[in-house]
């Protein structure tokens, strides 16, 4: 596999036409199996899965764009404003099926404009054109304004689309795997930047900036999140960076979440600023051991329940329920979004196990804390389920706790 980020004429890399066809066919198969009349998608990841079209993060939560896939035909993309014309120019595989989106901007446009009713009427008309207007309309997410408008338009049965679309997205094609590996290689580089930059006096938010610079320079199309957590902030995990100044003796852990051509990373590493204590070393190795005893189990036919059972229960972290402990030891599918299927946790996998299959890509992460509860370490790897086992696709070393930023004197 090449780690170049461009498509070229002189070697086989990602075949984007094949990628788009694979994803659309997977979605069409689900429409047929579920007997839905159409998918109506507002989730950007589902829109991209159906149409192969991307737009910036600014539009993600505004309901300014959507895609409709009636059963038996190809998708329609309803694009935001002038991006409609851009899609017709630059996205030839869908150019003749792009239309300007109707939006009420989640209430920003007053209801008396009746934008939601006009949108609902247009959806009903397309479903009628393809003879599926009396069949269920599956929507991934929306709001009450549109739900009411769809019912006024005569669409009687509205069902959940997300369950079946996540099923479609479950098994990754070779092209998707290559994109996930390329995204991981960029995060590998970000971790090299971090190890060279952690030192007393640098702030968490400065490290976020360095990661973003590295990723965007390499070709990332979206840095969704960089969690930087240090010192006493590492226990409990707050899931957000701050302006805290890093000091000698601090654990510093990171989660690098970005995407390359839509395919994301969820990738934790923990380091130490200076020399670790005996307790910090033991804590780090506990997180590593929990992680790798689970990874070593990954292969087709193993269930999520078997893997979850290898992890400790909630009391290990001083918590009262598996709901509280949901992120302490967990596995989750990763692809166009950072939480897909399969999902592995003691919270649900023991009672409702899921069998692993070739082509799944799973991010697995564990967290451990020092006996006094004042410091914590977190490690995560991304794992491809192969024909007879697994492949770890995140490559920055984590076998030992890496010390950063303070000279070592012998």
Measured CA to CA, the distance from residue 211 to residue 188 in angstroms comes to: 11
Domain count, the chain: 2
Mean pLDDT of 197-201: 98
112 has a pLDDT exceeding 70: no
**Does residue 144 share a domain with residue 249?**
no
Integer Cα distance of 358 and 300 in angstroms? 6
Place of tokens 């990171």: 254
- The residue from 168, 191, 219 where one domain ends is 168
| pLDDT level of residue 1 (50, 70, 90 thresholds) | low
pLDDT of 403 > 70? The answer is yes
Q: 101 lies in which domain range? A: 16-168
Q: Among 168, 201, 232, which residue terminates a domain?
A: 168
Say whether pLDDT at 410 is over 60. Answer: no
Same domain? For 137 and 228 the reply is no
Q: Which pair of structure tokens corresponds to residue 149?
A: 């408008």
Domain with 304 in it: what CATH number?
Answer: 3.90.230.10
Are 275 and 154 found together in one domain? no
Residue 376: strand pairing partners: 369
Q: Are residues 259 and 373 in the same domain?
A: yes
Q: Report percent pLDDT > 90 for the chain.
A: 89
Question: Once rounded to an integer, what is the mean pLDDT over residues 36-65?
Answer: 93
- Residue appearing with tokens 């003749």: 96
Asked if 148 and 185 sit in the same domain, the reply is: no
Higher-pLDDT residue of 311, 145: 311
The tens digit of pLDDT for each residue in 144-194 reads 999 999 999 999 899 999 999 999 999 999 999 999 999 999 999 999 999
Residue 343 in any domain: the answer is yes
329-366 burial by CB neighbour count: b if 16+ within 10 A, else e? bbbbbbbbbbebbbbbbbbbbeeebbebebbbbbbbbb
- Residue 405 makes CB contacts below 8 A (sequence gap 6+) with 198, 199, 200, 202, 246, 248, 273, 274
Q: Tell me, letter by letter, the H, E, C secondary structure of 241-306.
A: CCCCECCCCCEEEEEEEEEECCEECCEEEEEEECCCCHHHHHHHHHHHHHHHHHHCCCCCCCEHHH
pLDDT for the residue 109 = 79
Query: 274 in a domain, yes or no?
Result: yes
Is residue 157 domain-shared with residue 214, that is, in the same domain?
no
Round to whole Å and give the CA distance between 358 and 180: 15
One domain for residues 158 and 197: no
Same domain, 121 and 205: no
Question: How does pLDDT run across 51-100, given as a tens digit for each residue?
Answer: 999 998 888 888 899 999 999 999 999 999 999 999 999 999 999 999 99
């Amino acid at each position: 596999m090449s780690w170049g980020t461009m498509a070229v004429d002189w070697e086989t890399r990602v075949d984007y036409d094949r990628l788009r066809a694979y994803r659309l066919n997977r979605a069409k198969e689900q429409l047929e199996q579920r007997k839905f009349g159409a998918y109506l998608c507002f989730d950007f990841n589902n829109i991209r899965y159906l149409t192969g079209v991307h737009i910036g993060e600014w539009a993600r939560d505004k309901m300014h764009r959507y895609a409709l896939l009636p059963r038996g035909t190809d998708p329609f993309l309803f694009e935001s404003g002038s991006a409609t014309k851009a899609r017709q120019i630059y996205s030839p595989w869908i150019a003749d099926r792009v239309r300007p989106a109707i939006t009420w901007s989640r209430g920003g446009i007053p209801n008396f404009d009746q934008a939601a009713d006009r949108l609902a009427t247009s959806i009903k008309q397309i479903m009628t054109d393809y003879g599926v207007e009396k069949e269920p309309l599956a929507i991934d997410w929306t709001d009450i304004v549109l739900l009411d408008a769809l019912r006024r338009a005569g669409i009687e049965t509205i069902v959940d689309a997300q369950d079946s679309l996540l099923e479609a997205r479950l098994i990754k094609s070779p092209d998707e795997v290559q994109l996930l590996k390329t995204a991981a290689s960029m995060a590998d580089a970000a971790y090299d930047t971090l190890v060279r930059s952690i030192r007393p006096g640098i702030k968490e938010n400065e490290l976020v900036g360095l990661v973003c610079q590295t990723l965007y320079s390499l070709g990332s199309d979206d840095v969704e999140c960089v969690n930087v957590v240090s010192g006493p902030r590492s226990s409990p995990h707050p899931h957000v960076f701050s302006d805290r100044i890093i000091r000698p003796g601090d654990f510093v852990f990171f989660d690098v979440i970005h995407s390359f051509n839509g395919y994301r990373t969820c990738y934790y590493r923990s380091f130490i600023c200076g020399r670790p204590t005996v307790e910090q070393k033991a804590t780090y190795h506990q997180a590593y051991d929990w992680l790798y005893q689970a990874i070593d189990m990954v292969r087709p036919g193993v269930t999520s329940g078997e893997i979850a059972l290898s992890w400790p229960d909630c009391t290990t972290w001083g918590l009262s329920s598996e709901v509280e402990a949901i992120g302490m030891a967990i596995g989750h599918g990763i692809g166009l979004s950072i939480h897909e299927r399969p999902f592995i946790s003691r919270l649900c996998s023991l009672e409702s196990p899921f069998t692993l299959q070739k082509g799944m890509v799973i991010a697995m992460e564990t967290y451990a804390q020092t006996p006094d509860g004042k410091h914590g370490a977190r490690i995560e790897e991304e794992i491809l389920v192969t024909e007879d086992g697994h492949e770890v696709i995140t490559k920055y070393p984590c076998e030992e706790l890496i010390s950063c930023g303070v000279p070592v004197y012998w």
